[in-house]
Amino acid sequence: MMDDSLLAAAENYAREHLSGKRHAHTLRVADTAERLAGIHNLDPGRARLAALLHDSAREMRKEDMLRLAGEKGIHANDLERERPMLLHGPVAAELAREDLGVEDDEVLDAVRAHTMGEPGMGPLALALYVADKIEPDRDQPGVETLRKLALKDLRKAAMVALDRSISHNEERGRPTHPRSYEALEWLEGRGGEHPGEHGV
Ligand SMILES: [Fe+2]
Ligand SMILES: [Fe+2]
């Protein structure tokens, strides 16, 4: 199902677009995502592909991020205009489609949702979101619990990880993207009201 030449192209793409440090992170996320996919009955190749591409726009200059987002029809809200790095997932997904010909919507959705989460995210997106948070170099408080949880339940692991990242922002007085609140509500199975706006 997964074409090895596409994986090789994605590996090259990550190497060409990222610093050594972030490239190494990307490879660790790829190994982690692939392993999680194996455990949870997902396609390891597709998980690896999404992971290889997830941060490919992460080192783009802010001006370029905003310009590319505009060109590709990605709507940037106020928070994203202020912090263009929040757009690195959606921009990376568009680049993967255009530069590498990736057409697998679940792979593209996973890349798109990896930073802030997304209500309705699919299993591949959950695997990537969690892999990004538990790759072997991560050492944030609670990561060991998260690693264990990820072996059993990806959705719960994503919920815990997202909840932590929102608390982390709140402790530092940093804004949380409305989509992260929406994603957490969805993961918790709550509907209805949330802070922030729709249509981002
Ligand atoms: Fe990222
Ligand atoms: Fe990452």
Phi-psi region of 189 (alpha: psi -120 to 50; beta: other; left: phi over 0): left
104 alpha carbon to ligand 2 midpoint, in Å?
A: 20
pLDDT for 190 equals 77
The CA distance from 173 to 166, in Å, is 10
Average pLDDT over residues 178-193: 87
Q: What is the pLDDT of residues 46-99, one digit of tens each?
A: 999 999 999 999 999 999 999 999 999 999 999 999 999 999 999 999 999 999
Distance (angstroms) between ligand 2 centre and the Cα of 76 equals: 21
Answer with the residue of higher pLDDT: 107 or 193: 107
Q: How far apart are CA 84 and CA 106, in angstroms?
A: 24
pLDDT in tens, 115-130: 999 999 999 999 999 9
Residue 199 has pLDDT above 90, yes or no: no
- CATH class, range 4-188: mainly alpha
Task: Provide the residue ranges of all domains of the chain, joining segments of one domain with +.
Answer: 4-188
What pLDDT score was predicted for residue 78? 95
